[in-house]
């Protein structure tokens, strides 16, 4: 069992608004593969306006979302075979930001370029590199997430925008004790069982893992709608935090039929990918997918799982944005930690260490 940590979550509004930087030298989630179709996508990431698009050969490109001529966002333009064309005066830029054409003018000015970002597509997730001044080139490959590609699960996802700082989303995902209160009619279940779950927290300099076991539980509505349980179940919740995303494996099996420490255990699985990318210091993008293993009627059951998952995220969004509004309303008042805050506290320390290291 983990013990409560004394370090505060540092929720004070002053601390949040004074942070000038985010952790750098990281691959952040910029979007999903299916978002890039026939139009450019504009998105502010870490306070940088970025335009994302797919080139004619299928590669993903990311440029500063500003035409170098008269500053119109390139995301207001259109896609052509050679790249993105500005919607103001028609300058055409390729995936590396080089101007290829100025309509009505033969000579292209040498300075007609737009800064380009390093971007990679992996397992249907689009990653963008934000490096420090001395590490502009990616030092590592973007994370793999083969849950999307190895064929064992069906999955769907979406993108949410939050009017709240990104670390409040981390806090919510690292503490699933709130399920019994916020998500009572979907993935929640008995609140008392959630608050008293067997919990183990492990961490190193870059990651936090929170493991929670809820044996002999009544399955919540989402679970019974998706899987043929025969009574009470043994539930698990495994949350893995990295600074740019979290992976959450939850599920259940009929009571006393599997070992909750067996990584190959059967039962009903919900595997969530949660890419949490700051938009600004006070707003965030939340890129999520949910993968599951329906026992039968896979299309119908998966639609139900996705619907119920989206409902839980809608509920979380209401709570987190209301929480942040109240923080602004009341100002830098201290907060009290309880036993469920261990994982979030450790994640905040990691973020601060990485932020300081990227100065």
Q: Could you list the pLDDT tens digit for every one of the 359 residues in the chain?
A: 333 333 334 444 444 444 337 999 999 999 999 999 999 999 999 999 999 999 999 999 999 999 999 999 999 999 999 999 999 999 999 999 999 999 999 999 999 999 999 999 999 999 999 998 888 999 899 999 999 999 999 999 999 999 999 999 999 999 877 666 566 666 555 555 655 668 899 999 999 999 999 899 888 888 888 888 999 999 999 999 999 999 999 999 999 999 999 999 999 999 999 999 999 999 999 999 999 998 888 889 899 889 888 988 999 999 999 999 999 999 989 989 888 889 999 999 999 999 988 87
Q: What is the pLDDT of residues 199-222, one digit of tens each?
A: 899 999 999 999 999 899 888 888
In CATH, what number is assigned to the domain containing residue 323?
3.90.380.10
Residues 160 and 263 in one domain: yes
In CATH, what number is assigned to the domain containing residue 100?
2.102.10.10
* Residue 132 within any structural domain of the chain: no
* Residue 306 within any structural domain of the chain: yes
- How much is the pLDDT for 20? 38
Query: DSSP 3-state assignment of 288?
Result: strand
Per DSSP, 131 falls in state -
Report yes or no: 324 and 17 within 8 Å, Cβ to Cβ. no
Residues 115 and 166 in one domain: no
Residues 98 and 223 in one domain: no
The end-to-end CA distance of the chain, in Å, is 36
- Range 167-206 burial, b when 16+ CB lie within 10 A, else e: bbbbbbbbbbbbbbebbeebbbbeeebbeebebebebeee
Tell me how crowded residue 283 is: count the other CB atoms within 10 A of its CB: 16
Residues 350 and 252 in one domain: yes
Residues 114 and 155 in one domain: no
Last residue of a domain, one of 121, 154, 185: 121
* Residue 178 within any structural domain of the chain: yes
Residue 33: C-alpha distances to residues 123, 125, 153, 157, 205 (Å): 9, 6, 18, 11, 30
Residues 180 and 115 in one domain: no
Report yes or no: 222 and 258 within 8 Å, Cβ to Cβ. no
- How much is the pLDDT for 338? 84
Residues 216 and 328 in one domain: yes
- How much is the pLDDT for 196? 64
* Residue 275 within any structural domain of the chain: yes
Residues 194 and 324 in one domain: yes
* Residue 2 within any structural domain of the chain: no
- The boundaries of the domain holding residue 108 are 34-121
Residues 237 and 317 in one domain: yes
* Residue 126 within any structural domain of the chain: no
- How much is the pLDDT for 13? 45
Token pair belonging to 55: 């080139």
* Residue 137 within any structural domain of the chain: no
* Residue 38 within any structural domain of the chain: yes
Residues 174 and 89 in one domain: no
Residues 201 and 294 in one domain: yes
Token pair belonging to 86: 């500005």
- Total tally of structural domains belonging to the chain: 2
Nearest CA to 199 out of 343, 316, 335, 336 is that of 343
Residues 117 and 153 in one domain: no
- How much is the pLDDT for 308? 86
């Amino acid at each position: 069992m983990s013990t409560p940590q004394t370090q505060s979550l540092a929720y004070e509004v002053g601390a949040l608004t004074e942070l000038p930087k985010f952790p750098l030298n990281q691959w952040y989630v910029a979007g999903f593969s299916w978002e890039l179709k026939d139009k450019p996508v504009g998105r502010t990431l870490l306070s940088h306006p970025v335009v994302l698009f797919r080139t004619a050969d299928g590669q993903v490109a990311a440029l500063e979302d500003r035409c170098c001529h008269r500053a119109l966002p390139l995301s207001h333009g259109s896609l052509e075979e050679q790249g993105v064309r500005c919607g103001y005066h028609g300058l055409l830029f390729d995936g590396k930001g080089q101007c290829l054409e100025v309509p009505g003018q033969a000579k292209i000015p040498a300075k007609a370029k737009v800064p380009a970002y390093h971007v990679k597509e992996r397992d249907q997730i689009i990653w963008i590199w934000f490096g420090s001044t001395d590490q502009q080139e990616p030092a590592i490959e973007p994370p793999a997430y083969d849950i999307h590609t190895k064929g064992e699960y069906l999955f769907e996802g979406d993108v949410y925008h939050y009017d709240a700082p990104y670390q409040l989303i981390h806090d919510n995902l690292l503490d699933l004790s709130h399920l019994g209160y916020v998500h009572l009619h979907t993935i929640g279940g008995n609140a008392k069982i959630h608050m008293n779950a067997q919990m183990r927290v492990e961490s190193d300099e870059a990651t936090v893992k929170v493991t929670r076991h809820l044996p002999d539980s009544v399955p919540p509505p989402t679970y019974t709608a998706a899987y043929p349980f025969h009574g009470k179940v043994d539930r698990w919740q495994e949350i893995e935090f990295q600074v740019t995303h979290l992976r959450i494996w939850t599920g259940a099996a009929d009571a006393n039929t599997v070992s909750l420490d067996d990584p190959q255990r059967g039962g009903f699985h919900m595997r969530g990918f949660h890419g949490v990318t700051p938009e600004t210091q006070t707003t965030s993008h939340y890129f999520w997918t949910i993968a599951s293993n329906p026992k039968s009627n896979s299309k119908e059951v998966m639609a139900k799982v996705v619907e119920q998952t989206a409902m839980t995220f809608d509920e979380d969004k209401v709570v987190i944005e209301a929480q942040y509004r109240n923080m602004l309303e009341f100002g830098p008042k201290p907060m009290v930690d309880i036993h469920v805050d261990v994982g979030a506290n450790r994640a905040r320390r990691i973020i601060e260490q990485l932020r300081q290291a990227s100065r």
